[in-house]
Structure 1
Amino acid sequence: MKTAVVICPGRGTYNAGELGYLARHFPDPRLLTEFDAQRTAAGQDTLTALDTADRFSPARHTRGDNASGLIFAASYGDYLSIDRERVEIVAVTGNSMGWYSALACGGALSPQDGFRVANTMGTLMQQALIGGQLIHPWMGEDWVPDLARKRDLLDLTARIGAKPDCQLHLSIDLGGMLVLAGDSAGLQAFEQSVEPAQQRFPMRLPNHAAFHTPMQEPVAARGREALGSDLFGQPETPLVDGNGRIWWPGASDPQALYDYTLGAQVTQPYDFTRAVTVAAREFAPELFIILGPGTTLGGAVAQSLIVADWRQMRGRGDFRREQDATGLLAAMGMADQRGAVAKAERGQ
């Protein structure tokens, strides 16, 4: 049996290749029916209808009120699918919206209440749609850390954000990437101030608001009005949040967990790099399991481990050698890696 830290993905991970993910992988039809019932009661398309659509529609599937529910359900279904005879889960963390999934996986929220939180917050974000996000690398394609480059980009962000007619903030510290959020003027000023990188950055993220910034204060307030603290309890598995803080079973304050989740987690930067670093150093797992949907978070996890100097990895080549030798990362959105950690599924 191997020890593992489980990592839950955030927005932007259910795309065309993931259409049908729940139909293929979700292991508990009754629970999926309960999620669908919540959606129906709210006047929303069911997850089943979205997941089994004839074709993927970016305008429909990537909206916050649809994407959040799809991603939560896919992640939680994958968590249920982990083979506990082969894997001992020692901690859970997540990226951005993945924190809501982590709360359910770690037992601080029931699966039904976890879905309620994720779906409610995704819907509120979509209704408000305050600001936007872009992503830009501070590492090169070799994944060798360039801390001077990172400081320069953060300094530029601060200077733009300090202008009276612009809003720009660090949203997520995401391995070798910075996710920035702001208003149109702030995002445009950044795009015009940096050299294009790797032929695709800076990249705007469609249907994303200015998550994890003070611009989301109204959304956080509406979330607290809609969701009571009685939903939250003690975690059953240690949780590592977006500040790198560990919420221990039997020693956590559910009210404080609620306050963080619907407060600072919404309105302050989310440090995914630190969350992965703390999870690695504190729990020393033999592998990191990245739940589906999607396969895009693996690079950020690997880059975060490089920043942490985990197993003396200093760049992309070191990570590839470690991955080939030990299977350090298992992304459940990839069929070959899924098989290494998941129970056999229907039809297999």
Structure 2
Amino acid sequence: MDVVTIPKPWKLFLKEKNIFLLCLFLLNHVSKMNAEDSGMEELATEKEAEESHRQDSVNLLTFILLLTLTILTIWLFKHRRVRFLHETGLAMIYGLLVGVILRYGIPSTSYHHKTPPSCSLKEGPVSTLLLNVSGKFFEYTLKGEINSHDIHNVEQNDMLRKVTFDPEVFFNILLPPIIFHAGYSLKKRHFFRNLGSIITYAFLGTAISCFVIGNLMYGVVKLMQAIGQLTDKFYYTDCLFFGAVISATDPVTVLAIFNELHADADLYALLFGESVMNDAVAIVLSSSIVAYQPSGANTHTFDAAAFFKSVGVFLGIFSGSFAMGAVTGVGTALISFQFTM
């Protein structure tokens, strides 16, 4: 017959007390680890924000020094009556020098990145991504597509990223007031007297430039593919799109020189009118080329239906833009007339 030994109550109490103390110790250790991890995350975030603010201050100081240097050099050139270089060209030279220094003079910064497993999105890549890291949400923005061969070598100069000028800011914020001021101060009599020549240069000249550049690029692409220097596929529509984009020239420097030298008013009106209108023609041409999508198995052959669709897109966008501009101009003129009475 087995004898059951009942432990004494004080031994049970000590055993339960040890287990309780062990649980308290483990909970305290886990809480300390979580607090340390949270503190390290906050410290890393604050350090990243501080570094970003420091780089922003350095960039702003660089821009101010560059602007001051440009103004002082312009004053010196005018004081010394140096006429072989205009201030706009001088600003471009200073910008090129600073760009070369930022690109090749400052070491690149390596980024710590992790590649997540592949996933498929029905609506394409999102512009803003929120990640939940240890209960805290971090926001990431879309920078663009990365080549699969360079996915593990993502490194670039942080300052170069920040000083890279966004073209959307130029075209949507800076350029409209410049064009408005130039058009408002333009001698309208000379502009409308040469309206036929301006339209001819803008429409016919831009179209000829688009097709010439597109055909030249297509020939270069075929030549590079024939000699084995190009493996990617470039189609004729891609070359035409490049020709449409590159045909929109803005002779800002030439117009500034003409304005300072008091050049012939008809010549200034021709150049300014063509430079303003060729942007619109290039936009409409590029939109029409993008709209050219033949149906069928081979989507890069000539299709009459797709061609006429592109022509319709060209006429529709141009007519709508012209009507919108005309209505806005007439409305502004009527409002100005009422306030000046």
Q: TM-score, normalised by structure 2?
A: 0.23
Q: TM-score, normalised by structure 1?
A: 0.23
More strand by share: 1
Which structure exhibits the higher relative contact order, with contacts defined as CA atoms closer than 8 Å and separated by 6 or more residues? 1
More helix by share: 2
